[in-house]
Every structure is written in C-alpha cells, then in structure tokens.
Chain A
Amino acid sequence: MWSSCVRTRSMLSPTTLCVCNEKTALSFLKIWFMLQYEWNRNQRFLFQAAIAFAMSHHLDLEFNVSNILVCDETPRVSFWFVVTSPDDPSRLVGKESVELAVRASRSRINNILLLNDATLEFIGVLPTLAAPVKPATPSWLIVFGVVIGIIGAGIVFLLVSTVVQKKRYVDDDEEAQMKRMAGNEGICNTSFSECDRNTQM
C-alpha cells in the first residue's frame, strides 16, 4: 500500500510513532495554522477528532482519533498527518480520499478549530470557492425603487398643486380682486405705490 502523507502546519509537542516522511509521500500536502490560541496536546486531539469526523462523514466508515497520526511537527505549527484505515491500523488511507474528505467538510473543520480558509491551509487542497450569495432581487434595485418612488410622488404632487393653485386663482380672480380693491382704496392708493417696479415715467 502506498502511503499518503498529508502535511499540515501547526505548533508542536513531542510526537509518537511517525509513519511517514518525505520519502514515502508521493506528494506532500502541508497544512499550517495561524493560531489565536496556544497549540498543545489537547488542541492536537481536537484536530485529530475533526479529521476523523471528516473521514467518517466522507467514507461512511467509523474512524477513531487513533487512526489519525500526526508527525513531524515544527514550531511554525506545521505538520504532516496520515490516516490509517479503521479495520487495519497498518494500512493507510489513500491521499485522494483524504483530500476529498477534507474538501467536503472543510467549512466544518474550519469552524471546529475556530479558523478559516486564510488561517488554516491544507497544502494541495484548494478551498472550494463559495459562490457569492445572489438574492432574487438585486438589493440596489430595491433602493432605486424607493428613491424613484419618492421622487415620482413628489413631482406629481408639486405639479398637481401648481395646477390646482392656478385654477383657484383664475376662478377667484374677479371676486377676490374686487374685494381687495374695495377694502384697500381708502387705505392705499396704488397709483403712487413706490414698490410698483413697472412705474412708467
């Protein structure tokens, strides 16, 4: 059985049995973390559990934490890991299926470890690009609709009010002006009004 080494990057504590090394890896996958927390044995355990979950989910077999072997850790928090088959601990699971499992449950693994695609990298496994969410109606159309609605209503209102005003003025013309004339004549004789700008010489 050819071995498959999936290399990851994380910080280190003394390793146990190391099954893989660069010579046995057909190609190496690195993984590195940018951690907000300190890497220790418990964190590594959580990582192993997450990978076990991903493998179980993908292959429908029951993987245990002991099936995930971590080795060659560096202070960078980078290491290799290998997955052994649950039925036969000396047999390694092929790299392709590990890759596929990781890719399928990538977001879940990210969330478990409180990391994201930028801070956790499985070298060789490209993150599937999340398609940007496209709502049914582009939101800009909604804003546009609101704005144009308000403006349209405003225009209609102003035009209608102007028309109504003009009509009222025309209707009241005769009566109102007569009233005004009668009321004002004793008070202000408009013939000599200084504010009449059309005064002819």
Chain B
Amino acid sequence: MGEEKNPGTEERPKWDNKVQYLLTCIGFAVGIGNLWRFPYLCQIYGGGAFLIPYLIALVFQGLPLLYLELAIGQRLRMGSIGVWKNISPMLGGVGIASMVVSFLVSMFYNTIIAWVLWYFFNSFQNPLPWSQCPLNANQTGYSSECEKSTSVNYFWYRETLNITEDIGISGSLQWWMVICLATAWCVIYICFIKGIDSMGKAVYVTATFPYLVLTIFLIRALTLPGATDGLVYLFTPDWEILKKPQVWLDAATQIFFSLSVAFGGLIAFSSYNAERNDCERDALVVGITNSATSLYGSIPIFSILGFKARTNFNTCLEQNILTLTNHFDIAERNMTVENYDQWFDYLNVTHPGDIASLPLRVCDLQNFLDQSASGTGLAFIVFTEAVLEMPGSQVWAVLFFVMLLSLGLSSMFGNVEGVLTPLQELKLVPKWLPHEVLTAIVCLVSFLIGLIFTLGSGNYWVEVFNAYVGSVPLLIIAFCEMVGVAYIYGMKTFSEDIYFMTGRRPNIYWKACWMVISPLMLLVVFVAYVALQAGTYPTYPAWNPNYENFPQTETKEYPKWVFGIIVALVVVPILSIPVVAVYNLIRCGMKKSNANVSGPNPYSNEAFEIETQERNTQSI
C-alpha cells in the first residue's frame, strides 16, 4: 500500500474538536430570527401559552428532523447532493433543491447583515444619528417626512434604505449600502477562506458572543423602569388563544425555520465528523439550545420594550401636563405623572370646555405596549428608539448590533456551506481550481446578484425573498427528506447506521416520529401554509410619504410581474426534485432493458451492492 496522500486535497476536512462542531451547528440554528421573531410571536399569541404549541412542535417535528439530517450526514459523509444521490438516485434532486435555496437565502440574508453593519458603523457618534431629525432644505424647520413619523423611522427608511414608494420603482443603487454589502461579503469570505479550518475558529466568537451580550442586556434591562411591564405583558398566558389554528401553524413554522433544517448546511457540517459520534445527543443539544436561546433572548428584548413603552407613556403624560399647566397657570410641579389622573378628573369637572379645546393626547400604557414589531422593525426601529433613552446609548447600540452581526454571521456560515459543499460534489468545478478561488467566486457572484437589494426598492425585495424562498420550498424539501429516509432508504438500514454510529438503535419515539408523526405534521403545515397564502392576493406594506395616512404604511398589491417572480422563486428550487426523479426513472428503465439483453454483468455482483456503491461514491 503506502499510497502517498497529499494532505489537504483528497482527505475530507475534519473538525478540530467536538466543541467546534457543536458551536457551528448551534450558531447556524440560532440566528437573528430567534431574537426578532420568537418574542413577537410569543407576545401576539398569548404570552406564556404560546410555549405549549412551540414545545410540542419542537418535540414532534423539530428534533426528529434535526436528528435525521445530522445522522445521514455523518453516516454517508457527504454534502446534501451526495447524500441524497446515495440514498436513491431519484432523490438526487433534493440536494440540488437544498443548494439552490441556500444560495437564494444567503443572498438576502447577507443584505440584513449589511444593514446591521451600517447601523454598527453609525453607532460610534454622539449624538446617535437616529435621535434627531435633519433640517429641511431652507433650514426653517425639520424635514416634514421626519416630523410626521419619527426620527428613528426616518433614519431607517430614508437615510439607510432610501426607500421608494413602490416595488416597481427601483430607484438607484445606494452607494453606502453597496459598500456595506461588500464588507459583509468580505467578512464571510475571510471566515471561509480556508474552509472549515477558518470557519471553525470564527464560530468560537460568533456563536458565543451573542450569549454574552444577551446576558449583559438582561442585567441592564431588568434594572430599567418599566421592565416589569414588558415582561408581564410577554408572559401573561392567554389560554383562549390556543383554540386558534393559526397559533399552531405559526409555532410549527417557527420551529422549522428556526432550526435551519433542509438547507443542506447541517448535513455538510455533520459529514466532517468522525464516523462514530453520538449524533443523537448532538441533535438534542442543538435543538434544545436553539429553543432555550429564543426564550432567554426574549426576556431582555421584552424588558427593553416595556421600558420603551413606559418612557413613551411618561413623555405623553408630561406633554399633557405641560399643556394643562400652561393653560391653567398651575404652580410648577404640582401636577406630576403620579397625580395626573386626579388633576385631570378635577379639571374636567370644573372646566370641561377648556379641557375639550386643548390638544391633549390620549396616553394609554397598554397602547404603547401593543406597539410591537418583529423583524427589521424590531431591530432597527423599536430597539434603536429604546436605546436612545438608555444612558450610554452608544455602548448599548454598538453591543446590540455586534450581537446581531454575530448571530447573522454564524447563520450565514451554514448557508454558504450549503452552497459550497454541494458545488464541489456536483463535479462542475475543475480540480485545479483551489478552494479559496471557488469561495471567492461564489461570494462575488452572490454579491453582484445581491446588489438588487441595495436599490431603492431593495427592502421590498428582501421581504419577497424572505416570505417565499425561505418558506414553501424548505417545507417540501424537508418532507422529501423525511419520506426519503424513512421509506426509500429504509428504517431498518437507517437504524443499523445509527447503531453503527452511536452504539444503540433509535427508540420507538424516534421511529414513530420519522415514519408517521413528523411527515404528517409537515404535510399539514405545508397545506395550511399554502391555503392561507393562496387565499388572498399577496400584498406588501409600502413606505409612501405622500400617503394620506402617513406615517402608516400603505398596503399595496404586488404587480403581476413581481407575482410571476414570486411563483418562480417558489417553483424553481423544488423543480429539480421531480426533474431528477423522472430523469433517473428513464435512465433506470433504459439500463434495465439493456441489462436484460446482455445477461449477468461480470463487473457487478449484486451481493456486495451496498459496499460497492459506497466505495464508488466515496472516491470522488
């Protein structure tokens, strides 16, 4: 033997240690969505009561899927394309679908990271740029768009996005966004430059830093006035709401998208593991950590939102107090926030006409607490406004955006891995092209296509991608994965594989989930999701300063051509599944007919079918 191996070219890369692998998987699963989607869902779906459908979905859908992906990746030791081709040539399309979805998602996800970078760059100023309105053209007053909405809204919609009023109006490339996007892709590139060697080192920081910042925020937030209002509001269970089916659907979709399954990234990560590794425990660790992080993160988020509501409420009251004090010439400091109600009632009785004529605002704490937001609205509008009220705003702003950056980066690693590994397995890439150059090409192409999101209408496009690419195709891919492994690969073979890897066979819970419960849940979620979407023509909220109800967003319908693009985004990724299946069916049929003609094949002894198959596919 003594075959001289050239280390680094033929050998499959390996994790330095188990911790790196776990941190990478946790980092991939824990993303920005854990912070800006879960607390919002918790709030609108009856607080503590939402945890019930959430945990049920985790146990019966999330964990089995996670375990499945980690197990097949580790056993078959290939990325998503190789794995599914291995299980059955007809399922080869599943891997391609994963790759396409990963590619599309990584493009718009990095735009979000570019936005976070922009805010991060802008947090090093005093005062923070979103705290003041700029003056209008002739310096007589503040810009009208800013005055009607708030300075925070203005900074997000005008100075960051420079958003147009309609998705059809593309506007021009915003140069500051372009360089932020370029920076984001450079960061990704530098972390991926040596494959998982460099990425594995980067996750030590990107996966752990968010927890540190969340803890700091937790301590800070709990000491802010009004924190308890927010927490009570978040966790007060409203059991009635569990009767609505929408809650269960949202819980299931939240778990599914939160765990980042069906992207192919998890399969790739676990394929770099040692063969005998306890992937069951890994799956449990990753899944439970992901949910625990969501819960843990929602506490500081909602404390801060409660603080913001309380501050707005106090400001509202103080404005009213000023108006009343000026009008009635009451002594200074006689009317305060605490005795405002008594004063108001007294004045209403004695001078009702005057009270009616004054421009008093209605101040309702519940109203302010209800002003919840999710997604970019939470991070870039609500939270930035809250940060302005906290002493030492710059520090908190910087910390918050670095945390978002870490969360986003660690998720991007999984997305990009879900593109790079299958690309190499597709054998489209010539052997002489070094890994670094391939990574650079992928980053460059993604950056160039991602320039769409830096146009004036970029935010609308991100919403389109977010809602349609990152949803239906993933559900279909996950369903095919589960059915493929449970029925086509065979539960028996799979159990044997797991026995080989972990030393014990999967128990009845896992088997029941893989074979029946999870595919059923996925099917129900998929059907319900499509039914809900198909019911109404899709609309989007547009920021239109000329709208009569400005600063409320105007609900517009997508134009026909955008609708066509949406359909394409949903259909194209999953198109590969039936196409490859049909292609292989035809080829199989032709081969069979050929084999019958030529008799037994002297080169293929079916007795050793499994091992020859493995060897062939291993020597890529």
Contact = CB atoms under 8 A, between A and B. Distances in A.
Interface stretch (A43-51, A71-79, A85-93): A71-79
A170 B329 CA distance: 90
Interface string A75-114: 1111000000000000000000000000000000000000
Contact of A75 (B11, B118, B190, B330): B330
Interface stretch (B25-33, B133-141, B298-306, B346-354): B133-141
Contact of A32 (B125, B189, B326, B436): B326
Contacts of B134: 132
Interface residues of B, number: 41
Nearest to B121: A140
Contacts of A187: none
Interface in B97-124: 117-118, 120-122, 124
A32 B325 CA distance: 10
Given A11-B331, A74-B329, A76-B329, A144 B190 contact: no
B332 A11 contact: yes
A197 B122 CA distance: 52
Contacts of B326: 9, 30, 32, 76, 78
A61 interface: no
A158 B190 contact: yes
A101 B179 CA distance: 48
Interface stretch (B1-9, B67-75, B454-462, B491-499): B1-9
A155 B187 CA distance: 9
B610 to A, nearest CB: 13
Nearest to B11: A197
A78 B329 contact: yes
A193 interface: yes
A144 B186 contact: no
A35 B193 contact: no
Nearest to A32: B326
B132 interface: yes
A177 interface: yes
A144 B123 CA distance: 11
A159 interface: yes
B139 A199 contact: no
Contacts of B434: 162
B211 interface: no
Given A129-B141, A144-B121, A152 B325 contact: no
B556 interface: no
B141 A192 contact: no
A155 B190 CA distance: 6
Contacts of A192: 1
Contact of B125 (A139, A162, A196): A139
Interface in B138-161: 139-142
Contacts of B376: none
By CB atoms of chain A within 10 A, which of B121, B194, B330 has the most? B121
A132 B1 contact: no
Given A192-B1, A199-B1, A159 B329 contact: no
Contact of A159 (B141, B325, B436): B436
B1 A190 contact: yes
A185 B3 CA distance: 14
A144 B1 contact: no
Contacts of B194: 158, 162
Interface in A132-159: 132, 139-144, 147-148, 151-152, 154-155, 158-159
Nearest to B275: A197
A142 B121 CA distance: 8
Interface in A152-201: 152, 154-155, 158-159, 162, 177, 190-193, 196-201
Contacts of B139: 129, 131
Contacts of B611: 201
Contacts of B11: 197
Contacts of A158: 190, 193-194, 198
A198 B3 contact: yes
A9 B186 CA distance: 59
Nearest to B322: A34
Interface in B1-52: 1-5, 11
B289 interface: no
B1 A155 contact: no
B502 interface: no
Q: Which 5 A-B residue pairings sit nearest by Cβ, starting from the closest?
A: A140-B121, A75-B331, A191-B1, A76-B329, A74-B329
15 contacts: A9-B326, A32-B326, A76-B325, A76-B330, A139-B124, A140-B125, A141-B121, A144-B179, A144-B183, A147-B117, A147-B121, A158-B198, A162-B194, A191-B2, A201-B611
